[in-house]
Amino acid sequence: MASKTLDDLFHETLKDIYYAERQIVKALPKMARGAQDEKLKAAFEKHREETEGQIERLKQVFEILGKRAQGKTCPAIDGIIEEGEEILDEFKGNPALDAGLLAAAQAVEHYEISRYGTLRTWARQLGLGDAVTLLEQTLAEESRTDEALTGLAKSAVNIAARKAA
């Protein structure tokens, strides 16, 4: 059995986040439709567009590696998305729906931030400078999205959910 290297781990993790991003881009329109707060809807729609760009950057990283862009099933992101769908079903029409959707979206963001931070660090160690640049762009977008969601939660969504209680 061949020894596994950091190169192998980088490639496997890249496949993981590629799969995750493709699942996220499918889930965001449903979340946007379900959201009651217009700013939250807009945030989901904006992030869908960003996610499409992130998928394109991931394809470029695969090209840098000389590998075909392909995903690998990620049970973690599948579970987080499933939780968001449960919130949509269980809280539909209720004041807490948006707070739940926002929390599910932040769980997604935190997963992505973790993955992209790790991939960027490994890319540096592997001497993949062009990949580092691409991964840093996406990491910065994910961080800005998380900050925007936090601001929206604090300024409106959680307040509206609490007032209705």
Question: Within a domain: residue 92?
Answer: yes
| Domains of the chain: total | 1
Range of the domain at 79: 6-163
Nearest to 83 by CA among 52, 106, 63: 106
164: pLDDT strictly greater than 80: no
- Quick one: DSSP state of residue 154? I
pTM recorded for the entire structure: 0.94
Name the percent of the chain lying above pLDDT 70: 99
140: pLDDT strictly greater than 90: yes
d(CA 22, CA 26): 7
d(CA 56, CA 64): 13
Residue range 132-138: average pLDDT?
A: 98
CATH number at residue 65: 1.20.1260.10
Question: Within a domain: residue 1?
Answer: no
> What confidence tier does 165 reach under pLDDT thresholds 50, 70, 90?
low
